[in-house]
Homo-oligomer: A and B are copies of this chain.
Amino acid sequence: MSAMTHKNTPSQSWDKSNPREVRRACRELGYTGYTAGLAPGHVQANICILPKAWADDFLLFCQRNPKPCPLISRSEVGDPRLPALAKDLDIRTDVPRYHIFRDGKFVEEVTDITSYWQDDLVTFALGCSFSFEEALQEAGIPLPFLEKNSVAGVYVSKLPTESAGPYKAPLVVTMRAFKPADAIRAIQITSRFPNVHGAPVHIGSPEQIGVDLADRYQNVGDGTVGEGEIPLFWACGLTPQLAVMSAKPPLCITHAPSSMLVTDLSNASLAML
């Protein structure tokens, strides 16, 4: 065990289906991997931690742009807990990996942010599309990128968001392609999940929203549209990260991509109807 971290070696076994165990693995057992497939049925969240002086406008940005920024919890100022998401949760240790941004620039990836914690920090937890992807799979709708161990293709669109204070960003979108009947079902199913991006923002021609399918953001995800398929575009949780990069707060801490906060909330609890 390193003196620099209170995480143990990853050799100990833990129950990957239990969200509390996933968080314990991050906190105590040195788990630093991806969270896709862990604690099935439970909400995973995008994390954004900001100083209080920068948090109020960020909250307003979320309120004004609920599709890319579906806020499911905001902590008390300086409090590392998020009791609405899990009683035992400590945001300083319970995410596999974190990204540290200073003045809007990425500076470092870490596995624990205890040494970065400040009394003025506020944590925002935003819903993530893993929840509705689970619902799509349960409905028998193919998501072939998952079989390739990839994620949905990510694009910076020309669709606007509504700014709030220093937070400004174009809408980032994810693309998933379906046969037409599955596209209709996918719209129905994701409409039931407004807290995890909800219904798509666009269907069909990518150029209508300024997207070139070959030009993925940071080469993230799979941009394949098969024969006879139609592309659907959802608002993406990377939008607020672009807004933070544009606002340039002195400190911002996020989860590392695909290494989310695993919560005790059930995906089903987020569904309307």
CB of A180 within 8 A of CB of B199, answer no
Q: Is the CB of A201 within 8 A of B188?
A: no
A218–B251 Cα distance when bound, in Å, is 67
- Nearest to A209 among chain B residues (CB) is B180
A28 to chain B, nearest CB (A): 44
CB <8 Å contact, B203 and A184: yes
Majority SS at the chain A contact face: mixed
Q: Is the CB of B200 within 8 A of A184?
A: yes
Given A188-B188, A191-B188, does the pair A183, B199 have CB atoms closer than 8 Å?
no
How many Å lie between the Cα of A208 and that of B191 in the bound state? 25
Contact A204 B230 (CB under 8 A): yes
| B-contact 0/1 string along A184-211, CB 8 Å cutoff | 1001100100000001111111001000
The answer to whether the Cβ of A228 comes within 8 Å of any Cβ in the partner chain is: yes
Number of copies: 2
Which chain B residue shows the least CB distance to A186? B187
User: Residues of B contacting A183 with CB < 8 Å?
Assistant: 203-204
Cα A272 to Cα B191 in complex, Å, equals: 14
A–B Cβ pairs within 8 angstroms, 21 of them: A180-B203, A180-B204, A180-B205, A180-B208, A181-B201, A181-B202, A183-B203, A183-B204, A184-B187, A184-B199, A184-B200, A184-B201, A187-B188, A188-B191, A203-B203, A203-B230, A204-B204, A204-B230, A205-B228, A272-B273, A273-B273
